[in-house]
Structure formats: structure tokens, C-alpha cells
């Protein structure tokens, strides 16, 4: 078409946007690396994930045949859908800007899609059957140990589990660990929380913070979770893709970023929702 240009004619703009967007989405998305990742390939827009029940072994007498154990997995189907964002960059804006507009757009697009991906995965926390807290009290270290005991009872190693909390919820956890930021008998974990604000591990569980979490409608009320990597899944059909189209009459380029993915809960018992209210607003 006469009003279109290819990536070769916009190579400088296109390359910088793609590079920045891909870098940002890897850096900004916390959840992507904390859940099971699948690739949707070979046609279709969904992936079927098998779920196997635990198999029990039993004692066997010598020279006695083993009885047959049926392996009959269930499955969860994860269907991908598109997310995207578009902006129009005029020639005048690009040529007169004191900053690198291409890199700025790439950063904004990467941040937008990374945030959406995190929010979609975090929304699955509400689906866990086991919940600690009712949204009225503050979280404490005891809450983490409580959730850890639930996951250990499922046979999960807690050093393979993570906690994801909103920063305002994590504030109370840090305050609890440090006795409201002034603990004369602080241990190494409390000292690190005081020095850098980083919690690290509690009960073998790594603690992550993200602002990509919506409150439940009440100020300071957020739903986090502790979960094993196999509890939730992200199925990628298409990672972030940038396309440009020239609008000659507008003297501008349309810049579009899209990604195609789906999310789903795989093992309900592998996660514990943490529903607490922050003491700060």
C-alpha cells in the first residue's frame, strides 16, 4: 500500500523500540519467572496441561507379581488471547524531541504489557482454595510460617516456593520482623530488612514485592499469595511484537505492540492466598 512503510525504511526507529520493549518486559514482569511456562505451537490457540495424581508405592513379597496401578491424569486447558497497545508518533514530535522517543515508547510499551501479564497472573491468587487472613488484619512472619506449613503438608519443598506481596503489605511484615524498625536483638534477617528493605527468605520462602496488584476495593487491602512454581501457568503463543505503519497524510507512524498469551491455575493445593490489610494507606 502507498501509505505504508516497511521496517527497513523505519529501521532505526523500529529496532530501538523493539530492543527497549523486550528488555523492559523481561525486567518488569515479576510473575513470568515465578510460574510454569508453556509455549503454544503447532496451530491452535490453547495448550492442554496434564495433571497427574500422586502414586503410592507398597511393600511387595518376594516372587509376587505387582498389581497394576492406573495412571489417569486430568488436564487444564489454557487458552491464549491478545493484549496490545498503540500510539501514533508524528514526524514533528519525533524530530523535535530532546530525548530518544523510540526508546521511550519501547519502554512504555514493555512496561504496559509486562504489567498486564503480571496482573492476569496475580488475579489467579483469588482462586486458591486455602486462604489466610480476611482482609482486616496485618500480615506477620507467623502468617508466612503458617502458609509454609500448609505447603509442606502437600509434600512441597518450601525452598521452591515464593511469596508475592504488595509493598504496603510487605511493610507490615518488615515492621513485624524488626519490631517496628527498632529491634535491639535483631537477627540477620531483621538487620537486612532494616538496612536495605529487602526481606529475603522466611521459612525458606523467597519474598517478592510488586505494585502490579490491585486492592480489593478497600484502601490497603491486597491479596497476595505463597505458591509453588507448578501452581500457576503462563502459556505464550506470541511474545511482545512491535509493528509500524506509515500514515503519510498525517505525517506520522502508527506503532503497535501486541502479545498473545493465556494464564491458568494448574494445582490448586500448591498455593495459599494471603489476604491482609496494610496498616499504612
Considering the domain 127-231+268-277, what is its CATH architecture? Answer: 2-Layer Sandwich (3.30)
Say which DSSP state 215 is in.
B
Q: Does domain 11-51+74-123+234-261 have CATH number 3.30.2400.20?
A: yes
Instruction: Please tell me the predicted confidence (pLDDT) of residue 194.
Output: 43
pLDDT of 264: 96
How large is the angle between the packed helices 101-122 and 11-28, nearest 10 degrees? 30
Q: Which pLDDT score is estimated for 88?
A: 85
Read off the C-alpha cell for 140.
506477620
Q: Residues in the chain with pLDDT < 50?
A: 1-10, 180-182, 184, 193-197
Distance of CA 153 to the CA centre of its chain: 25
- At 25 the pLDDT is 60
Q: 68: which DSSP letter?
A: P
Query: How far is the C-alpha of 22 from the C-alpha of 240, rounded, in Å?
Result: 7
Region of 251 please: left (phi>0), alpha (psi -120 to 50) or beta.
left
Handedness of CA 13, 16, 17, 18 (dihedral sign): positive
Q: Which helix (H) or strand (E) holds 92?
A: helix 91-96
Q: Where are the domains of the chain?
A: 11-51+74-123+234-261, 127-231+268-277
Residue 247 dihedral angles phi and psi, to the nearest 5°: -115, 95
Query: What is the per-residue pLDDT across 48-88, written as a single tens digit (0 to 9) for each?
Result: 888 877 777 878 888 788 888 877 778 889 999 999 988 88
The predicted model scores a pTM of: 0.80
Per DSSP (E only), the strands in 91-195 are: 131-132, 161-165
67: Cβ contacts below 8 Å, ≥ 6 apart: none
Residue 152's Cα: distance from chain center in Å?
Answer: 23
CA-wise closest residue to 106 among 257, 258, 261, 259: 257
Amino acid at each position: 500500500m502507498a501509505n505504508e512503510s516497511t521496517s527497513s525504511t523505519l529501521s532505526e526507529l523500529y529496532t530501538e523500540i523493539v530492543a527497549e520493549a523486550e528488555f523492559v518486559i523481561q525486567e518488569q514482569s515479576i510473575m513470568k519467572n515465578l510460574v510454569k511456562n508453556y509455549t503454544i505451537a503447532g496451530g491452535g490457540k490453547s495448550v492442554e496441561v496434564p495433571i497427574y495424581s500422586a502414586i503410592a508405592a507398597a511393600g511387595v513379597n518376594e516372587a509376587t507379581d505387582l498389581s497394576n496401578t492406573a495412571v489417569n491424569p486430568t488436564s487444564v486447558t489454557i487458552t491464549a488471547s491478545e493484549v496490545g497497545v498503540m500510539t501514533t508518533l508524528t514526524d514533528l514530535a519525533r524530530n523535535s524531541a530532546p530525548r530518544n522517543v523510540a526508546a521511550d515508547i519501547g519502554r512504555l510499551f514493555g512496561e504496559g504489557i509486562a504489567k498486564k501479564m503480571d496482573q492476569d497472573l496475580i488475579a489467579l491468587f483469588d482462586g486458591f482454595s486455602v486462604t489466610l487472613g480476611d482482609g482486616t488484619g496485618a500480615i506477620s512472619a507467623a502468617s508466612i510460617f503458617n502458609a509454609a506449613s500448609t505447603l509442606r503438608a502437600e509434600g512441597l519443598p518450601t525452598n521452591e516456593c515464593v511469596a508475592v506481596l504488595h509493598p504496603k503489605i510487605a511493610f507490615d511484615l518488615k515492621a513485624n520482623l524488626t519490631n517496628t524498625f527498632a529491634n535491639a536483638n535483631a537477627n540477620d534477617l531483621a538487620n537486612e530488612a532494616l538496612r536495605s528493605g529487602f526481606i529475603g527468605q522466611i521459612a525458606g520462602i523467597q519474598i517478592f514485592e510488586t505494585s502490579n496488584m490491585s486492592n480489593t476495593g478497600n484502601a490497603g487491602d491486597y491479596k497476595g499469595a505463597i505458591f509453588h512454581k507448578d501452581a500457576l501457568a503462563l502459556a505464550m503463543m506470541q511474545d511482545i511484537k512491535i509493528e509500524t505503519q506509515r500514515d503519510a497524510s498525517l505525517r506520522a507512524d502508527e506503532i503497535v505492540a501486541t502479545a498473545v498469551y493465556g494464564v491458568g491455575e494448574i494445582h490448586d493445593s500448591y498455593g495459599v492466598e494471603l489476604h491482609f490489610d496494610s496498616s499504612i494507606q
